[in-house]
Amino acid sequence: MAQLVNPDLVRERSRASFDTGKLTAVLYGGPDEVTRKRRIEALALKDPDYTHEDLNYLCREDQYVAMLKKSLMAARKVRELGLSERDRDSYMDFLLDWRAGAVNLHRTMFTLTLQQQGNQEQRAKWLKLAEDFSILGSYLQTEMGHGTFLRGLETTATYDPSTQEFVLHSPTLTATKWWPGGLGLTVTHGVVMAQLYTQGQCMGPHMFILQLRSLDNHKPLPGIIIGDIGPKYGCNDGDNGFLRFHQVRIPRDNMLMRFAQVAEDGTYSMVLDPRLIYGTMVSMRVRLTEQSNFALARAVTIAVRYSCVRHQSELTPGEPEPQILEYQTQQYKLFPHLAAAYAFWFTVQTLQAHYEQVNSRLQEGDTSGLQEVHALSAGLKAFTSLAAHRGIDECRLACGGHGYSHASGLIYLLTSQAVIVTGEGEATVMLLQLARYLVKCYAKSQAGAKLPSTVSYLQTVQSAAVSGVTARDLNNFDVLTEAYQHRAARLVKDAAEGVRFKVVSEGQSESDAWNNSLVSLVKCAEAHSHFFVVKTFVEAVRRADVDDSARAALISLCQLYALHGICEQAGDFLQHGFLTGPDLPLARSQMCSLLSKVRSDAVPLVDAFDFHDQTLQSVLGRYDGRVYEHLYQWAKKSPLNKAQVHESYYRYLQPFLQQNRAKL
Amino acid sequence: MAQLVNPDLVRERSRASFDTGKLTAVLYGGPDEVTRKRRIEALALKDPDYTHEDLNYLCREDQYVAMLKKSLMAARKVRELGLSERDRDSYMDFLLDWRAGAVNLHRTMFTLTLQQQGNQEQRAKWLKLAEDFSILGSYLQTEMGHGTFLRGLETTATYDPSTQEFVLHSPTLTATKWWPGGLGLTVTHGVVMAQLYTQGQCMGPHMFILQLRSLDNHKPLPGIIIGDIGPKYGCNDGDNGFLRFHQVRIPRDNMLMRFAQVAEDGTYSMVLDPRLIYGTMVSMRVRLTEQSNFALARAVTIAVRYSCVRHQSELTPGEPEPQILEYQTQQYKLFPHLAAAYAFWFTVQTLQAHYEQVNSRLQEGDTSGLQEVHALSAGLKAFTSLAAHRGIDECRLACGGHGYSHASGLIYLLTSQAVIVTGEGEATVMLLQLARYLVKCYAKSQAGAKLPSTVSYLQTVQSAAVSGVTARDLNNFDVLTEAYQHRAARLVKDAAEGVRFKVVSEGQSESDAWNNSLVSLVKCAEAHSHFFVVKTFVEAVRRADVDDSARAALISLCQLYALHGICEQAGDFLQHGFLTGPDLPLARSQMCSLLSKVRSDAVPLVDAFDFHDQTLQSVLGRYDGRVYEHLYQWAKKSPLNKAQVHESYYRYLQPFLQQNRAKL
């Protein structure tokens, strides 16, 4: 029997102006890729061994246990199924999502670090163990007192040539390792970042691998104190942990020695250009940019579908209550994020391709392009994660009261996304990394040097005449791109010259001048990232292998993304004369026209993301739109409903009420 | 032995440019009020019967039970202590905060509704029971399918003259009452909003009181299905509930009849002007504005103190790691919210006074000024709750990784604040209520009418010449106030004329024209609210009974609040020519100068809010700044640390690892 679909969603889909499947193919890189994706998902969904229970009902401890069980089962199955490496990753990603479960850090940062930073013997020994899941590992970098600033880490690894061992130690409370996923209760091993001391000298942070818990009884090894760091905003199914070392000795060859080594007598030597490690960092940032994009796309899917099912209030007196997506304000809340989700989707693809190009050169020792992609990925990780975080929260708010319930699926998305803003490089620090690169490039171009492609526009900043558009042109892709390029160029110039002015004319030290310019430096990095996204989106829409109807939908989204940014940041565009005062209301009204254009295809546009209901985990965002009956079913399963009268009544409420009534 | 205080905080406090206590007195309305506040707090803190445990470690069910226990104890003590009504409220507020515990809705909306909408006999009967806590009540308005739009509520109360009863019924699934606090497990009674049907006619939503659960065994009465609605973003210590009626009969005099009544034969009649109820709504909105303000002030207190204790990275190579509050970006993240917390503090006082004035007239049946304060309070509730919500989240992000932990206290503030944005009138709907009022006033002033004081500036919009300031004037209070007034006036004019243009020139219906203008209508309501806050802040600073040093600190905050808004919304100020392009970088640089000015007094400025550590519930925001040792202690208490090896190891992890090792 066919599943009934909410008639509002049936109507929305029936009037789609394009073939949803064709757009899905564009997003995933062709129809074969869509087939592959769905095949993997079906493998996980049809397997009766998984229960896919709703973690929201469970207390933190039970959430942890449920995810541990599921993770270990997935790790076992993934081998039994004999999947390719890529399918294996997709299978695990689909099943475990980004939940902070036991094996997520094991199969990413732990394994990646061994691969990238271990020498041949180390890889042979440890990678095999890790890939077979004979050990489980975490990545121990952050400390209680230090996050993104690695040079400040306090954990020490002091080489003792007399025994040929390193001594790992936490010299202070703030040196306690803090946050590593899986560390609290689960992992047996860890790769640890510590300040290397040898022959009386500190050589800076290096990586070491060591066993943390007994393989017989799982107790922490001598000199190691481990625990869970307590309840968090999100990720409560994970056992993020803390760890303190008290003079823990490990063999010399537990230092990961691909890039640098310590000889038996303690002599330190570099082996490879340490910049090669940057490749790992860039790849993590690309991955996080992708996660931000998926999270935003999911949130928008949920909010758009729900906004078509929900009816409320009145537009025209006497008429039935309209779908809430009919309200211009609801469109204004959601569609810019829908457009951003498409923009970021193509941005991730372009960034990924850019990284792969640089990385393949890197494998041959050629570091050209590394700085550029390193700066770009830092900026985009920050820019997209912030935008997605804000966007998810606006989607949540746009769902009203029901958006506040865990039934919405939006709470999970929001609290997971918050990690990406701060984790693996805090957003402001990342933007300042990009800003430093931009300021350097600007100075180079002033000195006549040629710049890499993504920043070459900085060369033209001096000559760029303000072209003064009329708002009529503001749907033109070239004009929109130029607007963002112009804004980025001027803001980089302003920031760079602001720093110089403080040094030269005000006599500030370089570091004071830099610190006193941080706000404008962050702003220029955001503007550069924004320009990159707009330009990439425009190029993707022009290039996309779709028919006219789908392209028309993409064009509207792209125009909306760019115009919305102009209206939101109007000061920047007016400041430099790219727009004039009277243009602004016209730009706003054009943006509003785009909202109604996007309205008619909103549901097909989110359907095209092809998220399975199991991925969305949202009563509000269900494909079939049967929101209310499932919300009611969901609530009834709340653990607080297990008895008709809760036991606390007998203990507290009944005596209280009886006593008060007796007094009457 | 004196408690050690972190030396960074000692230094911050020792160099305060003003007397913190004097500023506290200004905020609370005089030294006597501060003494009163602290006396009440001490009553609660020194009482050994309260355990003040950390709810974060508990699962939802245990959180509920802990809060139930505490609430009932507080309700008992409050009578034993023989406090005045005002002290009683302060005592309960301090102890229970805004936690969604069992008695919070009882002592606010339930009691308030009986007071305001019950006739004399009803008040005599029910209020006594409620005040003695012989019954516990909830306020049942929202339904699964309807929130802010009351006319859409589906629950019916049909009068049956043959038995002189009302029949309460939930005709559809979406009519299920949804969200009422305390409903899920706790309350015995409820006031219910339902569509009144009598003599075959629907008379719109009216209030009824009825018993929901047996007073003997707490079981739901016949025809009533009750339950908890499941886990939420926050408020998980509360049992927000659902309720369905199946033909439940209640006596005629259970309808609250102060404003309207149904006679024995079913004849409906109005008794009092129903607009008088608006007073209740306004008072709730004033209260919510105050809550937003407190929440933001607490978050800023936590983030500012932590930012003085936390050292990270480097400003000048080779120097020790600076306090993170030294970074311009950190100041830029926090100080505008610090300034907003002060701005809103004074705004609440002004709004409160305004409401009390109108309300005292209202008690004599005079409704003049009601519309104005109703619109203003709607706008300010939305404006401040959105700003506080964003501000708290930025404070959380500014605390980096530790801001993500429940130890920060910021998660509780954030998730509680999110309720205020949506609850008791969704923010966008509230802003549109204000916009409707503004547009109406604008039209009236065009027709030559005189306008009430808070909107009288709309009369000048036509004549207001753009005065064209130089950025040098932007620290001048009159210029700043004028800038915001000018912006609000122009945006109201644009919005109002936009609607008219769509009707007159484009031939749209009134309702289409309105809907197609919602974005600009929301914008003008925000601009009006923003103007009101700036103006109020300026007046409060001028009027404040403080010495020059404290006034200087307030002046910087007020300038920062206004200038930050101008930089953030620069488009609006440039669009109408109040600023020119070249002014903008100057305005930004002036804002940055204010950041460093505020920096030196940042800790004294948050200390002046006088929040007790028990109120902040934050390891990061402790008055003594001993963050790290308490963070470690806090984490060790995590329930996941109860055993050195978690039981799940034996069940899942050990077999998994052993099996994999065996295969090697």
Q: Where are the domains of chain A?
A: 2-99, 115-272, 280-449+481-606
* Phi and psi based region of residue A365 (left: phi greater than 0; alpha: psi -120 to 50; beta: remaining): left
- Distance between CA B642 and CA B633 in Å, rounded? 14
Cβ atoms of A148 and A429 within 8 Å: the answer is: yes
Asked if B400 and A426 come within 8 Å (Cβ–Cβ), the reply is yes
What's the average model confidence in pLDDT over A267-295?
A: 91
- pLDDT the model gives residue B3: 65
Residue found under tokens 């945006």: B491
At A602-652, the pLDDT tens digits run: 999 999 999 999 999 999 999 999 999 999 999 999 999 999 999 999 999
- Give the C-alpha distances (Å, rounded to integers) separating B227 from A512, A646, B243: 60, 11, 7
Of B372, B346, B342, which is closest to residue B359 (Cα–Cα)?
Answer: B372
- Distance between CA B320 and CA B510 in Å, rounded? 65
Q: What CATH number labels A280-449+481-606?
A: 1.20.140.10
Would the annotation count B401 as a binding residue? no
What's the average model confidence in pLDDT over B619-645?
A: 97
Q: Of B143, B154, B372, B424, which is the active-site residue? A: B424
Token pair listed for B343: 């701005």
What's the average model confidence in pLDDT over A653-661?
A: 94
Least confident range from A165-169, A175-179, B178-182, B462-466: namely B462-466
The chain-wide mean pLDDT, for chain A, equals 94
Higher local confidence (pLDDT), A663 or B279: B279
What's the average model confidence in pLDDT over B498-522?
A: 97
- pLDDT the model gives residue B464: 52
pLDDT at A263 over 60: yes
The residues facing A194 across adjacent strands are A206
Of B277, B276, B251, B275, which is closest to residue B264 (Cα–Cα)?
Answer: B251
Distance from CA of A21 to the nearest CA of B (A): 32
Alpha helices in B81-152 (DSSP H): 85-96, 104-105, 111-117, 120-122, 128-131
- Distance between CA A522 and CA A620 in Å, rounded? 37
Long-range CB contacts for residues B359-364, cutoff 8 Å, separation at least 24: B359/B279, B359/B282, B359/B283, B362/B276, B362/B279
Q: pTM of the predicted model, to two decimals? A: 0.97
What's the average model confidence in pLDDT over B413-427?
A: 95
- pLDDT the model gives residue B242: 98
Distance from CA of B361 to the nearest CA of A (A): 32
- Distance between CA B18 and CA A179 in Å, rounded? 40
Of B35, B186, B162, B28, which is closest to residue B107 (Cα–Cα)?
Answer: B186
- Give the C-alpha distances (Å, rounded to integers) separating B125 from A663, B190, B191, B254: 15, 14, 14, 11
Asked if A132 and B664 come within 8 Å (Cβ–Cβ), the reply is yes
- pLDDT the model gives residue B462: 59
At A41-92, the pLDDT tens digits run: 999 999 999 887 889 999 999 999 999 999 999 999 998 999 999 999 999 9
| Structure letter (DSSP) for residue A449 | -
Q: Which residue of A has its CA nearest to B651?
A: A69
pLDDT at A428 over 60: yes
CATH topology of domain A2-99: Butyryl-Coa Dehydrogenase, subunit A; domain 1 (1.10.540)
Distance from CA of B275 to the nearest CA of A (A): 20
Q: Which residue of A has its CA nearest to B565?
A: A571
**Measured between beta carbons, which residues in chain A are less than 8 angstroms from residue B572?**
570
* Helical (H) or strand (E) element with B468: none
- pLDDT the model gives residue A152: 94
At B146-174, the pLDDT tens digits run: 988 889 999 999 999 999 999 999 999 99
What's the average model confidence in pLDDT over A344-370?
A: 93
- Distance between CA A607 and CA A191 in Å, rounded? 41
- Distance between CA A501 and CA B589 in Å, rounded? 13
pLDDT at B470 over 70: no
Q: Which residue of A has its CA nearest to B595?
A: A516
Higher local confidence (pLDDT), A546 or B280: A546
**Measured between beta carbons, which residues in chain A are less than 8 angstroms from residue B60?**
59, 639-640
Phi, psi of B62 (to 5 degrees): -70, -30
Asked if A59 and B60 come within 8 Å (Cβ–Cβ), the reply is yes
Distance from CA of A583 to the nearest CA of B (A): 8
Cβ atoms of B145 and B172 within 8 Å: the answer is: yes
**Measured between beta carbons, which residues in chain A are less than 8 angstroms from residue B426?**
400
- Distance between CA A212 and CA A242 in Å, rounded? 12
Across the interface, of A146, A230, A636, the residue whose CB is closest to B635 is: A230
Cβ atoms of A570 and B566 within 8 Å: the answer is: no
pLDDT at A465 over 70: no
**Measured between beta carbons, which residues in chain A are less than 8 angstroms from residue B72?**
652-653, 656
- Give the C-alpha distances (Å, rounded to integers) separating B71 from A217, A646, B75, B78, B100: 45, 17, 6, 10, 10
A86: Cβ contacts below 8 Å, ≥ 6 apart? none
Distance from CA of A135 to the nearest CA of B (A): 7
- Distance between CA A305 and CA A399 in Å, rounded? 10
The residues facing A193 across adjacent strands are A207
At A210-253, the pLDDT tens digits run: 999 999 999 999 999 999 999 999 999 999 999 999 999 999 99
Cβ atoms of A188 and A133 within 8 Å: the answer is: no
Question: Is B165 an active-site residue?
Answer: no
Number of A to B CB contacts under 8 A, please give it: 363
Would the annotation count B470 as a binding residue? no
- pLDDT the model gives residue B1: 39
pLDDT at A466 over 60: no
Asked if A570 and B567 come within 8 Å (Cβ–Cβ), the reply is no
DSSP-based three-state secondary structure for A490: helix
Of B96, B104, B89, B92, which is closest to residue B138 (Cα–Cα)?
Answer: B104
Cβ atoms of B584 and B574 within 8 Å: the answer is: yes
pLDDT at B468 over 70: no
Across the interface, of A76, A326, A405, the residue whose CB is closest to B229 is: A405
- pLDDT the model gives residue A377: 98
Per-residue pLDDT band for B100 (boundaries 50, 70, 90) equals low
Per-residue pLDDT band for A473 (boundaries 50, 70, 90) equals confident
Asked if B648 and A494 come within 8 Å (Cβ–Cβ), the reply is no
- Distance between CA A191 and CA A211 in Å, rounded? 9
- pLDDT the model gives residue B579: 86
Q: Is B297 exposed, middle or buried (0-12, 13-18, 19+ CB in 10 A)?
A: buried
- pLDDT the model gives residue A505: 97
* Helical (H) or strand (E) element with A441: helix A427-446
At A566-602, the pLDDT tens digits run: 999 999 999 988 888 888 988 999 999 999 999 999 9
Across the interface, of B239, B321, B419, the residue whose CB is closest to A640 is: B239
- Distance between CA A421 and CA B333 in Å, rounded? 15
DSSP-based three-state secondary structure for B12: helix
**Measured between beta carbons, which residues in chain B are less than 8 angstroms from residue A403?**
422
Asked if B312 and A232 come within 8 Å (Cβ–Cβ), the reply is no
- pLDDT the model gives residue B228: 97
CA dihedral B41, B44, B45, B49 (to 10 degrees): 180
Phi, psi of A225 (to 5 degrees): -110, 125
A631: Cβ contacts below 8 Å, ≥ 6 apart? A402, A405, A407, A619, A620, B144
- pLDDT the model gives residue A570: 95
Asked if B132 and A176 come within 8 Å (Cβ–Cβ), the reply is no
* Helical (H) or strand (E) element with A224: strand A224-228
Q: Of A424, A426, A482, A510, which is the active-site residue? A: A424
Across the interface, of A64, A69, A653, the residue whose CB is closest to B640 is: A64
The dihedral through the CA atoms of B216, B217, B222, B224 has a sign that is positive
What's the average model confidence in pLDDT over B472-477?
A: 86
Per-residue pLDDT band for A468 (boundaries 50, 70, 90) equals low
The residues facing A198 across adjacent strands are A201
- Distance between CA A544 and CA A551 in Å, rounded? 8
What's the average model confidence in pLDDT over B179-204?
A: 97
pLDDT at B461 over 90: no
pLDDT at B629 over 60: yes
pLDDT at B210 over 90: yes
Q: What percent of chain A has pLDDT over 90?
A: 86
- pLDDT the model gives residue A107: 87
Domain B115-272 has CATH 3.40.50.2300: no
Cβ atoms of B34 and B610 within 8 Å: the answer is: yes
Per-residue pLDDT band for B125 (boundaries 50, 70, 90) equals very high
- Distance between CA A553 and CA A605 in Å, rounded? 8
For every residue of B395-425, DSSP letters joined together read HHHHTGGGGGBGGGSHHHHHHHHHHHHHTTS
- pLDDT the model gives residue A547: 94
Across the interface, of A68, A228, A638, the residue whose CB is closest to B641 is: A228
Do domains A2-99 and A115-272 share one topology? The answer is: no
**Measured between beta carbons, which residues in chain A are less than 8 angstroms from residue B639?**
60-61
Q: How many helices (H) and strands (E) does chain A have?
A: 25, 11
Per-residue pLDDT band for A1 (boundaries 50, 70, 90) equals very low
